[in-house]
A and B are shown apart, each in its own frame.
Chain A
Amino acid sequence: NAGVTQTPKFRVLKTGQSMTLLCAQDMNHEYMYWYRQDPGMGLRLIHYSVGEGTTAKGEVPDGYNVSRLKKQNFLLGLESAAPSQTSVYFCASSYRTGLGYTFGSGTRLTVV
């Protein structure tokens, strides 16, 4: 049982490049989330999804887009990367009833 798998684990982008981060979960969770973690700021919610085909904005959505075409996958896209998007990105998932979130291992993204 893999839980929540994030790919890639590390990436270096040049300013203006685009990329997609993939989050896959095998627990049949309804809810999925993308967070970014920056020093001294904890984790901040970027976007989330409450079910297949649905997405919603979180606290810091600007510069990111997401899609959830399949229940098990949640994609985070950066259309034109900026140095301010240098961060560690965590995906998480949970059942509709909450009571526990499973986090992925993170993606460390550097934009130069």
Chain B
Amino acid sequence: ELKVEQNPLFLSMQEGKNYTIYCNYSTTSDRLYWYRQDPGKSLESLFVLLSNGAVKQEGRLMASLDTKARLSTLHITAAVHDLSATYFCAVEKDYKLSFGAGTTVTVRA
């Protein structure tokens, strides 16, 4: 059974500082996804990582994948209030997604 662990589960960020969210998974996977969810809303796709060493960046967010370590990271640069949300990683295996528990991010001034 594929297990996905995210940490931390809660992250209080100070504006302007850098932070990292970690996503570990237990078996080989096909692809890894990062999603953002605002309260009461659906999931918004941020990144799809396809292969070892993949790195993708969009604005203040950068995601990377190390398939050998079964680890993905979501790095946040110079946090701003708009980044407050819950972030999920999800690992795809055999066309099914297994989600981490999510990291709830709060950005304070």
Contacts and interface: CB of A to CB of B under 8 A. Distances in A.
A103 B96 contact: no
Contact of A103 (B30, B42, B98, B100): B42
Given A42-B100, A98-B30, A104 B42 contact: yes
Interface of A is mostly: loop
Interface residues of B, number: 22
A12 interface: no
B45 A40 contact: no
B107 interface: no
B9 A42 contact: no
Contacts of A31: 95
A45 interface: yes
A60 to B, nearest CB: 12
A30 to B, nearest CB: 9
Interface of B is mostly: strand
Contacts of A45: 96-98
A109 interface: no
Interface residues of A, number: 25
B15 interface: no
A48 interface: yes
A31 B95 CA distance: 8
Contacts of A41: 101
Contacts of B97: 33, 43, 45, 92, 101
A101 B99 CA distance: 13
Contacts of A87: none
Interface of A: 31, 33, 35, 40-45, 48, 50, 58-59, 90, 92, 94, 96, 98-101, 103-106
Given A43-B43, A98-B95, 8 more contacts: A44-B99, A45-B97, A45-B98, A48-B96, A58-B96, A98-B31, A104-B42, A106-B41
